[in-house]
Structure formats: structure tokens, C-alpha cells
Amino acid sequence: MTTKAKPVESMNFEDALEELENIIRNLETGKTSLEQSIESYERGISLKTHCETKLREARMKIEKITVGPNGTLSTEPLDQ
């Protein structure tokens, strides 16, 4: 992990997920120092939370298409 890491809040979902996957791979190797592992773990938690928020926001935007009795199409929020 670099000391000049991009702020999590400004990352898109794909970049955040990619960095999180890299952190997990690095932690699984066990080749990092304890201090570096702790920093990576804390960054990973932030990235995980950010990804979950982005997914929740996307889910709220999804709509389903419905067909009315007369054949007209409309949209309504997706049931959660």
C-alpha cells in the first residue's frame, strides 16, 4: 500500500473493489509487516464499506418494468 493512497470517498466502485482485492491478496501472503498489515486492514474496511454503500445506492436506482392491463409499459421501484 502506498502512503499517497487515493481517498476512498472519491473512488468509483470498480477501483475500490480492485484495491480491496489487492489488499486481501497481500494480507493472505503474510509477507507484510504487522504495522503494514494493520494499515492495510483498516484501509480494507473503509473500501468494503464504500463498496457496500455504492451497491446499496445502485440497488435503490434499479426499477422494474411492468405491463399494465391495457398493455402500457411503466416502471416502479424494485421491491427490496
Which amino acid, 66? Answer: T
Residue that has been written with the C-alpha cell 468494503 in this structure: 48
Asked if 59 contacts 78 with a C-beta cutoff of 8 angstroms, the reply is yes
pLDDT digits 0-9 by tens, 11-23: 999 999 999 999 9
Asked if 40 contacts 32 with a C-beta cutoff of 8 angstroms, the reply is yes
**End-to-end Cα distance, the chain:** 37
CA distances in angstroms from 17 to 55, 66, 75, listed in the order given = 11, 33, 30
pLDDT digits 0-9 by tens, 3-54: 478 999 999 999 999 999 999 999 999 999 999 999 999 999 999 999 999 9
